[in-house]
Amino acid sequence: MEMKRTRSGCRGVALCLGWVWCPVGGLAMVVSVATAAPPLQPLPPPVYSFDEQSPQVQDGTVTADSVLQVMGGVAIEVPVPVLDGNALGLGQPGDQLDALSLNHAGLSPTATFSILFSVDRATVGAAPPDPLLTSQGVPFNVQDQAAKGHAAGDQFISLGLFQFGAAARSQVLGSGSNNSQVRNNFDEGGVDFAAKPETSSSGSAGPPQDNVNSTSGAAAATVAGIVGGVYFSACRDARSTCNSPSLALLPGGATPSGANLYFNANPGTPGTMTTLFASFANLGLQQDDDISAVVVLDFDGNGVFDGADRVVYSLAPGSPSLAFFTDASPVGAAADVFVVTPSGVRTVLASAARLGLGAPTDNIDALELFPCVDGLACALEHGIRAEVIPTVSQWGLVVLALLVLSAGGVIVRRTRRRTIVR
């Protein structure tokens, strides 16, 4: 609709309402309110876990050592355990699943990929939303969601692309050192974690908030369990914020560590034993390190870290190796992503800065690798979108009423004039 203006402002109430704004006497009558809308192509729901401080763990809805998946209909969705801690050799009070991975052996070594990740409650982000994405209706990222108070229950995608055995590649368009939100804590078109608080990407909320502590793809997950092997770690960090007691009972328990990686070939089958996939020493780490996020590529599927296997991981804040690694970020190294081979070759796969992170308290809590050939295109396709809804301001309602009264008076005067002429 074309906007026609006179010196007094708008010409006609209907014309005025067809626009986002209409200056009448210097007042904006119609304003725009942005809310969030689902991605053009939502990602499949993952399996995941919450940490011990999460409201839904504190109130007994779920446990911190359970593998969860969102279940339910459109009206209500809830986190439902697909595996409890006992299936993994955990299950004691205080146990906390800290990192989780299905086997990513299907990812070609030459493939390019984006990184999907979640962050903790202390993370603030180091980059504002990418202006190019924002201009195309995808305006949410870590810094934005952290400022709104619920980034810990979200998932984000890197705009940069990465490839094993090669330097990190920049996306085709825009800045490659940023991220975009692909999954919200609470319902945003059915692609959420059913996490507290019950807030949209466009809304703000205060604590407490559920913290997504691990994720992995869920193609083989069902309510009966998970088909195929599960790789995981349990939380035990140098800051004594967590100390899973079952670590002493698992293989390698003589030197319990949050940097030990475990494997269970078929956790859906009772009696299947958990084995040690790789000790902290196998990964070139220290006993007091804590792996906070992991992706395992077990190419021969034998449940042993050998051959061409790779482990992609991020360490929790306070892990001593973060100060030992000379190539780690000088600030915010808990948001760096590393990759290591069985021969002990370790490199930085993605620095914190490449992910739009790097503030002193930034920390990655969960990881996924997502095949992608254009970081911007993947963010536009899978990123949560802004939906603009026009609303009338309070002053606008007053002006609208005056315009209606004024229009009515004009009609009455014209009717009377025509009557007199006749």
Give the torsion sign (CA, 107, 108, 114, 120). Answer: positive
* Residue 233, SS3 per DSSP: strand
**Among the ranges given (247-256, 260-269, 275-284, 366-375), the one the predictor scored with the smallest mean pLDDT:** 260-269
Residues 147 and 260 in one domain: yes
pLDDT higher than 60, residue 32: no
Question: pTM of the full predicted structure?
Answer: 0.83
Residues 243 and 127 in one domain: yes
Q: How far apart are CA 196 and CA 185, in angstroms?
A: 7
Residues 276 and 312 in one domain: yes
pLDDT 10s digits, 362-403? 999 999 999 999 999 999 999 999 986 555 555 555 444 555
Residue 78, Cα to own-chain centre: how many angstroms? 17
| pLDDT given for residue 173 in this prediction | 45
Return the pLDDT at 12: 36
Q: For residue 164, what pLDDT is reported?
A: 87
Residue 389: per-residue pLDDT: 53
Q: What single DSSP character describes residue 152? A: G
208 and 238 assigned to the same domain: yes
The pLDDT value recorded for residue 139 is: 97
Looking at the fold, whether 340 and 413 belong to one and the same domain comes out as no
Overall number of domains in the chain: 2
Query: Can you give the length of the chain in residues?
Result: 422
pLDDT value at 121 more than 60: yes
**Alpha helices per DSSP H over 100-243:** 131-135, 142-148
Q: What is the per-residue DSSP string for 1-29?
A: ----EETTEESSHHHHHTSS--EETTEE-
Q: Tell me, yes or no, whether 157 and 221 share the same domain.
A: yes
Q: Which helix (H) or strand (E) holds 414?
A: helix 394-421
267 and 123 part of one domain? yes
By the 8 A CB rule, do 326 and 306 touch?
no
Q: Are residues 170 and 129 in the same domain?
A: yes
Contacts with 191 (C-beta within 8 Å, 6 or more apart), sequence order:
38, 39, 42, 43, 45, 182, 183, 184, 384
Q: Tell me, yes or no, whether 54 and 177 share the same domain.
A: yes
129 within 8 A of 140, measured Cβ to Cβ:
yes
* Contact between 226 and 83 (Cβ < 8 Å): yes
Measured distance CA(357)–CA(143) in Å, rounded: 8
- Per-residue pLDDT, 271: 73
Q: Is the pLDDT of residue 314 over 50?
A: yes
* Claim to verify: residue 115 and residue 233 sit in the same structural domain: yes
Residues 110, 163 contacting (CB under 8 angstroms): yes
**Mean pLDDT, range 30-38, rounded to an integer:** 65
Residue 57, pLDDT above cutoff 50 = yes
- Residue 401 sits in the same domain as residue 378: no
Residue bearing the bigger pLDDT, 301 or 406: 301
Helix (H, G, I), strand (E, B) or coil at 132: helix
Q: Please spell the DSSP secondary structure of 381-411, one letter per residue.
A: HHS-EEEEEEEE-HHHHHHHHHHHHHHHHHH
CA distances from 231 to 170, 298, 300, 301 (A): 30, 10, 14, 11
- The pLDDT confidence band at residue 2, using thresholds 50, 70 and 90, is very low
Rg of the chain's alpha carbons, rounded to an integer? 26
* Cα 361 to Cα 373: distance, rounded to the nearest angstrom: 31
Residue of 403 and 48 predicted with greater confidence: 48
Whether cis (ω within 30° of 0) applies to the bond prior to 208 is: yes
**Alpha carbon of residue 403 to chain centroid:** 47
Residue linked to tokens 């202006």: 131
- Give the residues across from 388 on adjacent strands: 34
Query: Do 83 and 107 share a domain, yes or no?
Result: yes
Q: Residue 74: is its pLDDT beyond 90?
A: no
Residues in Cβ contact with 361 at an 8 Å cutoff, skipping those fewer than 6 apart = 122, 123, 124, 317, 332
Average pLDDT value for residue range 287-313: 95
pLDDT at 303 over 90: yes
Cα 132–Cα 172–Cα 161 angle in degrees, nearest 5: 105
147-183 pLDDT tens trace: 999 999 999 999 999 998 765 554 444 457 999 999 9
- The dihedral of CA 137, 138, 141, 145: what is its sign? positive
Q: Which domain holds residue 410?
A: 5-29+393-421
